A and B are shown apart, each in its own frame.
Chain A
Amino acid sequence: MDNATSAGVPRRPIEDASVRVMSARPNLLTRLRNLASRRELLSSLITSDIRIKYKSSVLGIFWSMLSPALTLGIYYLVFSEFLKNGIPNFFIYLFSGLVVWNLFQTAINTATGVIVDRASLVKKVSFPREILALANVGAAVVYFCIQLGVLALVLLIVGHQPAWNYMWILPISFAALYLFTASVAMVMSALNVYLRDVKHLMEVLLMLWFYLTPIVYSYENTVSARLHLHGLTLLYFLNPITLIVLTFQRVFYVAVTVASTVPPHPTLQILPTWSISMFFFLNLALLGIMIVLFLVSLTIFGRLEGNFESEL
C-alpha cells in the first residue's frame, strides 16, 4: 500500500536545485520575487477564502451580492427618494461609486485581522505572509468583478450608455485602486498583530472614510465649492479613492451636468468637467504614487513581519 511515489521518478540531482537565502531582512527585490513566485498560492488562497466564506450556506456566493444590493437600495431610497438630492439616474451614480468602495471596504475589513486569525498557519508554514492579506484583496476583487457585471447588466436593461471614450482609463484607475487597497491591507494586517484594536479602529475609520468619498453625494454639486473656499481641495483629494470613484462615475454615469429631478429643475453639476487627458493624467499620476506606496508598504510589512511569531 505504501507504494513509492518518488522511487519511480528519478530525483533531480540536489546540486541543480535552487538556493534560497533567508536573512534577517530580505531586501525589497527579494520580497517581490518571492511574492511573484507564489502566484499559485495566492490563487489557491483566494478560492479557498471564497469557498470557506460561503461553505454550507444555501445561497453560496449570492450572499456576496445581497449585502451590496441592500446597501445600494437603502442609499438610493434615503438620498434620492427621502432627501430628494435631485440627481437623475441616481441609482447608476450610486452603483458606480459603490463598486469601488465595496472592493476597498471588503478587502480592508477582512484583511486587517487575517494574520491574527491565521496565527496557527503563520507559526507553522513558511510563505510570504503578505499573501494572506493579498488573498483577501483578491477575493474582494472577485466580488468587485461580479458587481461590475451586475452594473453592466443594469446599464443594459436601463439602456444607459456608458462613456465609451473614457473606458480605457478604467484599467489604470483599477490598478491604482488595487495597489492602494493592497497597501492598506498589508500594513493594517501587520499592525493588527501588535495592536489588536487596529481592526476595530479600521471599522470605525472606514465609516468616516465612506463619507469623505463622493459616493452618496456629488463632488461638484455638494462639496467642491466649499472645499475650494477653505482651500481644502488638495486635502480632499489626498484620499486616493476619490479620484478613482470620480473616474468610475465619469465612465458609467457619464453626465457631467444634469437637470435636477426636483422642481424647479435647476441645472446641477455632478462631475468635474475634466477632459479625457486630464482624467488620464490624474489617474496615471495616482497609479505612479500607488506603485511607490505599494513598495513602501511591502517594506513596512517586512519590518513588522520579523516578530510576528512571538507576538501571535
Chain B
Amino acid sequence: MTTVIEVSNISKQFKIHHERHKSLKERLLHPKSGSTELFSALVDIDFKISDNETVGIVGHNGSGKSTLLKCICGVLQPTTGEIRLRGSLAALLELGAGFQHELSGRENVHLYGAMLGFSRKMIDGIFDDVVDFSELEQFIDTQVKFYSSGMYVRLAFAVAVNVDPDILVVDEVLAVGDERFQAKCLDRIRRFQEEGRSILLVTHQADQVRSVCDRALVLDGGHLIADGPVVESLRIFREHLLDDAIEHDRAGVQSSVTIDAITTPSGSFDVRSGAGMHFDVDITSLTAYSGNFVLEIFTRSGLLVSRSDAQGSPVNLRPGHNRVAVDLAQIPLLDGIYDINVGIVDSHGNTVIAWREQGATIQVIYDGREGGLVELGASIQQQ
C-alpha cells in the first residue's frame, strides 16, 4: 500500500464580495463600499488515499466536495495546508474539460493531453484508443463547436481514461451520456480498480458510491465528518441530511416524529428463505401527521435489494404512540444478513421526516442450491 493522495490540513477560504466592483472606476469611486466576508469552504481536511482504493466523496450541495476536488486537481490553491500527489492525475471536472471550440476533435485531444501533462508522443500513441473509446471516428476532424454535448463528454472522458493516469478523479460526469456509454465508463472504472489505481469519485448519488467505492468520505459544511467504509459513511451522511432537514424545518414536524423500534412478535429476526416475515415498527409522534412509510432492504455490501414502493405507502400518524405493521409475504433472498431501513417521508416522497438506518438486521437461512442474491426457483430439464 502506497499513499497516493495525501491531504494534510487543507483549508480553503473564499472572499465573498457582497457588492462586487469589477471595474477600476467603481473601485476608485467606492474604495470602501461593498463589504467582503470570509467564507470557509473547507476546514482542516486531512486524509490519505492509497493505491488500489476507490473513494467516494459525498455531501450535499455546498458541502465543499467540489472545492476539495479542485484543490486535489490543482485547479484551486488551498489557503493553508498541503496536498501531495504521487503519480499522474487525470480529472474530469464537469463537462468538456475546456475544449477549444475552434479546433477539431483531433487537435483538442492533443491539446488536452498536453494540458494534463502528457507528452505529445504519448498522446500519439493512445490517440486511436481515445477515438475508439469515444466512438467519434467520423467526427474527429470536425471542429468541436459542432459537437453535441454528449459527444463533448465522450471525448473528454475518453482522453482522461486513456492517458493511463495513476489517479482518476471523476466529478459527477457519469450522470451524462447515454446509458450504454455510462456503462462503458463504469466498466473502465472497474478495470482501473482491478489494475490497482486510485479513483476519487464525487457524486451525490449514494447508489453510485455504494456500487463503485470501497470507502467514502462525507463532507458537511467544509468539515470532514466521516471517513470509512461506504455503508458506515453513508449512514452518517443520511443522518446528517436528516439533522440538517430538522434544522431547516420550520413547521417542526420532523422533530415530532421518531421511530422507536422495530420488533417481531417472536423477537427473532431469523427467517427461512422463501418464508414470509412480519414485524412491527413503533413510531412516536407528537402531532397528527399524514405521510408515507418507506422500507428499504440492503445487503451488507450496500446493495439495495428492495425499496418498498418508490414513494412509500401512506400512513396517518396519530399523536402519541403508533404502530405500523410490515408484512413481507415472501422473502426469496438467499443466505445472508440484510439490513432494514425504515422511514417516514412526506406525502410527496421528497422530504424525510424520520429515518431509522439499520433499524433491524435480518438473517436469512437458505439451504437450497442456488447462488447469488435471490431464489428464482430455477428448474433445469433437458427436453
Which of B23, B74, B80, B103 is close to A48, meaning CB atoms less than 8 Å apart? B103
Chain A residues contacting B14 (CB-CB under 8 Å) are 307, 310
Chain A residues contacting B80 (CB-CB under 8 Å) are 24
Q: Is B214 an interface residue (CB 8 A)?
A: no
Q: Is B330 an interface residue (CB 8 A)?
A: no
Let me know if A24 and B23 touch, CB within 8 A. no
Chain A residues contacting B2 (CB-CB under 8 Å) are 14-15
Q: Is A62 an interface residue (CB 8 A)?
A: no
Let me know if A22 and B103 touch, CB within 8 A. no
Chain B residues contacting A20 (CB-CB under 8 Å) are 74, 84-86
Let me know if B81 and A44 touch, CB within 8 A. no
Category for how many chain B residues contact A = 35 or more
Let me know if B126 and A197 touch, CB within 8 A. no
Chain A, residue nearest B133 (CB): A2
State whether A40 and B119 are in contact (beta carbons under 8 Å apart), knowing that A22-B77, A23-B82, A196-B22 are contacts in the complex. Answer: yes
Let me know if A17 and B87 touch, CB within 8 A. yes
Chain A residues contacting B24 (CB-CB under 8 Å) are 195, 197-198, 201
Q: How many residues of A contact B (CB 8 A)?
A: 49
Let me know if B83 and A21 touch, CB within 8 A. yes
- Chain B residues 1 to 21 lying within 8 A of chain A, measured CB to CB, are 2, 4, 14-15
| CA gap between A99 and B107 in the complex, in Å | 30
Q: Is B120 an interface residue (CB 8 A)?
A: yes
Q: Is A256 an interface residue (CB 8 A)?
A: no
Q: Is B195 an interface residue (CB 8 A)?
A: yes
| CA gap between A23 and B2 in the complex, in Å | 21
State whether A5 and B164 are in contact (beta carbons under 8 Å apart), knowing that A20-B85, A195-B24, A196-B22 are contacts in the complex. Answer: yes
Q: Is A123 an interface residue (CB 8 A)?
A: yes
- Chain B residues 127 to 157 lying within 8 A of chain A, measured CB to CB, are 129, 132-133, 143
| CA gap between A25 and B82 in the complex, in Å | 10
Majority SS at the chain B contact face: mixed
Let me know if B23 and A5 touch, CB within 8 A. no
Let me know if B23 and A21 touch, CB within 8 A. no
Chain B residues contacting A52 (CB-CB under 8 Å) are 100, 102-103
Chain A residues contacting B96 (CB-CB under 8 Å) are 120, 124
Let me know if B187 and A2 touch, CB within 8 A. yes
Chain A, residue nearest B82 (CB): A23
Let me know if B76 and A309 touch, CB within 8 A. yes
Chain A residues contacting B111 (CB-CB under 8 Å) are 44-45, 48
Let me know if B117 and A127 touch, CB within 8 A. yes
Let me know if B22 and A5 touch, CB within 8 A. no
Q: Is A38 an interface residue (CB 8 A)?
A: yes
Which of A7, A22, A196 is close to B82, meaning CB atoms less than 8 Å apart? A22
Let me know if A126 and B75 touch, CB within 8 A. yes
State whether A17 and B187 are in contact (beta carbons under 8 Å apart), knowing that A23-B81, A195-B23, A195-B24 are contacts in the complex. Answer: no
Chain A residues contacting B77 (CB-CB under 8 Å) are 22-25, 305-306
Let me know if A22 and B78 touch, CB within 8 A. yes
| CA gap between A55 and B25 in the complex, in Å | 37
- Chain B residues 62 to 92 lying within 8 A of chain A, measured CB to CB, are 70-71, 73-89, 91
Q: Is A125 an interface residue (CB 8 A)?
A: yes
18 additional contacts, CB 8 Å, given A2-B133, A24-B78, A24-B82?
A7-B191, A20-B84, A20-B86, A22-B71, A23-B81, A23-B82, A24-B77, A24-B79, A37-B117, A38-B117, A48-B100, A51-B107, A122-B98, A123-B93, A195-B23, A197-B24, A198-B24, A310-B15
Binding site for A on B (CB under 8 A): 2, 4, 14-15, 22-25, 27, 51, 70-71, 73-89, 91, 93-94, 96-98, 100, 102-103, 107, 110-112, 114-117, 119-120, 126, 129, 132-133, 143, 162, 164, 166, 184, 187-188, 191, 195-196
23 contacts between A and B (CB under 8 A): A2-B133, A5-B129, A6-B164, A11-B164, A14-B4, A14-B166, A20-B85, A23-B82, A24-B80, A40-B120, A41-B115, A41-B117, A48-B100, A51-B107, A52-B100, A52-B102, A55-B102, A55-B103, A125-B91, A125-B112, A126-B89, A197-B24, A310-B15
Binding site for B on A (CB under 8 A): 1-7, 9, 11, 14-15, 17-25, 37-38, 40-41, 44-45, 48, 51-52, 55, 118, 120-127, 195-198, 201, 305-307, 309-310
